[in-house]
Amino acid sequence: MHRVDTRKECCSLSTSHRCRLMVQLFVMALSLADLSHAEIFRLGYITGNYASPEHPMYTKPGQSISGALSLAVSEINSDRDILPNDILEFVVGETHGDSLLSLKQTARLWTDDVSAYIGPQETCFSEANLAAAFNIPMISHFCLEPEVSDKGRFPTFARTRPQASDAVTSVLKQFNWNSVYILHSANEYFTLVARSVQKHLHANHITVNGIKTWEAKYFHGFTANPFIPLIDESYAETRIYLVIGDTHEYIGLLTYMEERGLFDNGDYFVVGLHVDEIYKHKEAENYIKGVLEPFVQEATVRAYRSYIGIIGAPPVNPAYNKFTAAVNQYLEAPPFNFVNPLKLFGLKRQKIIRPEAAYLYDAVYLYARAVHAAKMRGEDPRDGRNLLKHIAGTSYQSVTGYLVHMDEHADAQGNFTLMALKMIDAEPTRYGLVPVGSYAQAAVSESDTTQRQEHRLDLFTSIDWVQGIPPTSEPLGGFPHTDCFNENLIDDSKRHL
């Protein structure tokens, strides 16, 4: 996480700028209604929309999702069924991707009398602590840190961003893989993902035999392969690898293991996590191709026989394209005013909207419905701890089209696709990663009259194992040197004190 001088107020959006336009439109639309008792609920949106002079290369994720917040607020203020007598507005807290400034904005927004926080964009551990101290609900559309799931320590925190840890655990259990070796990019973001997955595996009695990282980005065939020493130093301690990073890099891992003969007898296997990706059928071949490769190599096809990937399930809402178009429109409207750069070149294409836009949109709706539920029971909707009772354990219809369940930790349970190597369109010369299973919420019968919702892994087609059956996670007799779970496997500098 980049740091900037927090002594400076360097927000490009005015720190006191509120989305008054939404309120004005709402009042105009309901000019005949009695709003004398309307209550205003102010959202504090903590985001990274701009780079700072100190760190001009910050990716500015807010510029491709923030319109979802404006869209949700506008829709809710126009819908008398969600908040019949109340109004939403929002204030923006700009972080520039800096963890200290994010914490500072959390404190500043409290002085601006916010009713809830939406965000933060990246880090959330310290911010969630502060929100709990203020007893203000915080619903993040982005946060990955596993510690904030502890409702004893973070009683006002929830998140709509699905956590992949459950899906990873379900896949490993499906094939009776009770031990793995984790390889992950040393990038801070992927380190957070790896730490979350590691803790979840430990909680589910799956042994992590070891963890290794690679530093520089890898471009297959153009840069040195960082996986060679990682495999050479670890293959005697595992049979199953879990890899977390930029997925175009995975080809280096798979092809080296193929060259080394580790896949020949079907003894080794790789599970890859496709972080922040949504499955696209037209990309099936690209999933097994180096980013700069013109076509899929034959050796690559052989290597990917020993691979399954976990990736976000594609939206099933028929109107999802309308949603992304609306987000694009609101990105260009006040208060954000982010001009689509393609228009500068006379192009009519829309900006690509990140998946987190859906999680941001869902977060606003989740909060509004919780406020309504609290008020219907005569409870104080500004009591963050109590409001979480109307979020944890509930389900909501996501804009992606899925029914999403919030577990007892107020974490959204995601929908993921399991993909494996198959022929594409029955053409013997074309191979790619195609869906073979799903991890999604399903109704489970408890009796003849009752059902409960739970997430489970369903395989709807076969996986073409090298030896016809899944490999075992340990050889007969075990490994000569197997470490038990060790919380210090991940560098202590990445951990919270």
pLDDT in tens, 183-195: 999 998 899 999 9
Single-letter residue type at 70: S
Per-residue confidence band for 248, with pLDDT thresholds at 50, 70 and 90? very high
Question: Over the stretch 149-166, which tens digit does the pLDDT of each residue have?
Answer: 999 999 999 999 998 998
Question: Alpha carbon of 191 to those of 340, 382, 457, 491, 492: distances in Å?
Answer: 32, 35, 25, 9, 11
Q: How far apart are CA 379 and CA 394, in angstroms?
A: 18
Question: Over the stretch 452-473, which tens digit does the pLDDT of each residue have?
Answer: 666 788 999 999 999 999 999 9
Q: Residue 236 is inside which H or E element, if any?
A: none
Per-residue confidence band for 59, with pLDDT thresholds at 50, 70 and 90? confident
Q: Are 15 and 107 in contact (CB under 8 A)?
A: no
Sign of the four-CA dihedral 92, 97, 102, 105: negative
- For residue 185, report the phi and psi dihedrals to the nearest 5 degrees: -65, 145
Neighbours of 341 (CB within 10 A): 10
Q: In what order do the strands lie in the sheet with 179-185?
A: 207-214, 179-185, 240-244, 269-278, 307-312, 416-424, 427-445, 451-459
Q: How far apart are CA 421 and CA 32, in angstroms?
A: 60
Q: How far apart are CA 241 and CA 179, in angstroms?
A: 9
DSSP class of residue 91 equals E
Q: Is the pLDDT score of 1 beyond 80?
A: no
Per-residue confidence band for 345, with pLDDT thresholds at 50, 70 and 90? confident
Give me the percent of the chain exceeding a pLDDT of 90: 71
pTM of the model: 0.85
Q: How far apart are CA 260 and CA 472, in angstroms?
A: 19
Return the higher-pLDDT residue of 332 and 429: 332
The pLDDT score that the predictor gives to residue 58 is 86
Question: Over the stretch 2-44, which tens digit does the pLDDT of each residue have?
Answer: 433 333 333 344 434 445 455 554 544 544 445 556 799 999 9
12 CB-near residues (< 8 Å, 6+ apart): 49, 50, 94
Q: Are 230 and 201 in contact (CB under 8 A)?
A: no
Q: How far apart are CA 372 and CA 378, in angstroms?
A: 10
Place of tokens 């919030």: 406
Question: Alpha carbon of 183 to those of 86, 212, 216: distances in Å?
Answer: 49, 5, 14
CA angle 149, 155, 161 (to 5 degrees): 40
DSSP class of residue 23 equals H
The pLDDT score that the predictor gives to residue 316 is 94
Question: Over the stretch 262-317, which tens digit does the pLDDT of each residue have?
Answer: 999 999 999 999 998 999 999 999 999 988 888 899 999 999 999 999 999 999 99
For the chain, list the domains and their CATH numbers.
20-161+318-405 (3.40.50.2300), 165-314+415-494 (3.40.50.2300)
Neighbours of 292 (CB within 10 A): 11
Question: Over the stretch 83-117, which tens digit does the pLDDT of each residue have?
Answer: 988 999 999 999 999 999 999 999 999 999 999 99
